[in-house]
A and B are shown apart, each in its own frame.
Chain A
Amino acid sequence: QKEVEQDPGPLSVPEGAIVSLNCTYSNSAFQYFMWYRQYSRKGPELLMYTYSSGNKEDGRFTAQVDKSSKYISLFIRDSQPSDSATYLCAMTLQGGSEKLVFGKGTKLTVNP
């Protein structure tokens, strides 16, 4: 079993839809959880950063962490064609210089 599992998709939705992206993980010691957005042939861009369980909202994006289920989610409201990208979840054990463990990424297409 991989440390982080993420459905690669692809996921295709109409403009304005609510998008739900998810990752599961096996290591209960993970404490910090991140979502990155990566456009084709570009480096990843940090979208959301959460520590431990709970919700965090930033504009149209909401990140949820459920440590009891080892499950994290990213919701995108009122999705736009510009949201079309690959979304990567990542997590790490602690702060400091700990390395990130990434999911495979989910490719999202928002159709106008």
Chain B
Amino acid sequence: GAVVSQHPSWVICKSGTSVKIECRSLDFQATTMFWYRQFPKQSLMLMATSNEGSKATYEQGVEKDKFLINHASLTLSTLTVTSAHPEDSSFYICSARDSLAGGRNTQYFGPGTRLTVL
């Protein structure tokens, strides 16, 4: 159980274009999902917290107009990188918290999406 999928797993795009990444919880409901970015040999850096039916909460230094997050259902959150630039190239990982887990803050991670902006 507790499987999180991401699509696409790998994307290459031209500078200036927008890229949408999907994160799905396959066998549980997730009122809260998290988006992380990971640069090579670095740890995961939280970008934003996505709450179903409400606006996302962005971490300091993350541009909300550049990284658009939509959490329209209990099993799907999307991250759109708008007007992507080469410095946005990174490994983007989502995680989802099981809504029925009670007080236990267990996050299940997706396999990640590698974005390369040319």
Contact = CB atoms under 8 A, between A and B. Distances in A.
Given A44-B109, A88-B43, A97 B97 contact: yes
Secondary structure call for the A interface: loop
Most B CB atoms within 10 A — which of A8, A95, A103? A95
Interface in B76-113: 91, 93, 95, 97, 102-112
Interface residues of A, number: 25
Nearest to B109: A43
B107 A100 contact: yes
A99 B34 contact: yes
Nearest to B91: A41
Contact of B104 (A6, A49, A104): A49
Nearest to A99: B46
Contacts of B12: none
Interface of A: 6, 8, 32, 34, 36, 41-46, 49, 88, 92, 94-100, 102-105
Interface of B: 4, 6, 31-32, 34, 41-44, 46, 49, 51, 91, 93, 95, 97, 102-112, 114
